[in-house]
Amino acid sequence: MKKLESKKRYVLPGDFITTAPLRLQDNVVLEGKRVISTTIGLSDVSADSVRVISLNGIYMPKIDDLVIGTIQSIFGNSWFADINSCYQGMLLGQDVFGRGSYPTTSEMKERLDKGDIIFARIANSDRQREPLISIADKNLGKIDSGELIKIPPTKIPRLIGKHGSMIQTIEASTNATITVGQNGFIVVSCDETNGLLKALAAIRMIDEQAHLVDLTDKVKKMLEFNGV
């Protein structure tokens, strides 16, 4: 594990990473033979690919991402949801009411109104149109209760941790249920106020210290300390 850590390096836009002929993943470009970072982050050179883990930036929708959105408007046969991106998520009426149905605006409002929070999947995303989202799956749909908070989408992997270790730690010690959207929206629900506050504090902490090592231990300590 240590070995992998040592390969990571802080980079800024324009910083040279490597000349090795590796597969280019996120946040890198090829200029001549040199691989260059395009953002502020941590460079990660693995055996066959190179990428930069960004420390800031907005969410770009990717197919099959699970996101949390708030309904912004109803237009024609679709809802438009804020998914914390430069594009709005488009949820088709057919997706909710079934194919071939033409729901009226009032029917749609009854099901999902402005300000409602949904847990959805990015069904399609291309350069031409607004990303299509879907709630036609189990676990997906309207979220009725909980606290919505926002962290930079680049810090979501940190919140989840390796194989979900971080989020499990928080959930176990606070009895909270945390729904995480890849877009940086998070809904935390908990029956006890104390647990809710602790979970929120832990998420804030991850937001502030996302670029530091041994974060899971630090969060664990913080949760234990508050618990006593």
Binding residues for other proteins, per CB under 8 A?
Answer: 8-10, 12-16, 27, 29, 31, 36, 38-40, 42, 54-58, 60, 86-87, 127-128, 154, 209, 211-213
Between 109 and 211, whose beta carbon lies closer to other proteins? 211
- Minimum distance between the CB of residue 190 and other proteins, rounded to whole angstroms? 29
Name the minimum Å distance from CB 44 to other proteins: 12
Q: Where are the beta strands (DSSP E) in the chain?
A: 9-11, 16-18, 23-24, 28-31, 34-37, 41-45, 49-54, 66-75, 78-82, 88-92, 117-124, 132-134, 141-143, 147-150, 177-180, 185-189
Shortest approach of other proteins to residue 38 CB, angstroms? 4
Beta strand 23-24 pairing with 49-54? parallel
Q: Using the Cα atoms of residue 76, residue 78, residue 82 and residue 83 in order, give the sign of their dihedral.
A: negative
Query: Mutual orientation of helices 165-174 and 193-208 as an angle, nearest 10°?
Result: 150
- Closest C-alpha among 137, 80, 66, 67 to residue 108: 80
Query: Shortest approach of other proteins to residue 125 CB, angstroms?
Result: 12
Rounded CA-CA distance 196/184 in Å is 18
In the complex with other proteins, the residue whose CB is nearer, 40 or 176, is 40
Which amino acid is it at 158?
R
Q: Which is nearer to other proteins, 18 or 179 (CB)?
A: 18
Decide: helix, strand or coil at residue 107.
helix
Q: Pull the structure tokens for residue 106.
A: 């009032």
Nearer to other proteins among residue 20 and residue 30 (C-beta): 30
Q: Which is nearer to other proteins, 20 or 212 (CB)?
A: 212
- Please provide residue 118's backbone torsions phi and psi, each rounded to the nearest 5 degrees: -125, 150
Structure token digits, residue 126 = 């291309």
Smallest distance from other proteins to CB 158, Å: 13
In the complex, minimum distance from the CB of residue 178 to other proteins, in angstroms, rounded to a whole number: 24
Pick between residue 30 and residue 172 the one whose CB is nearest to other proteins: 30
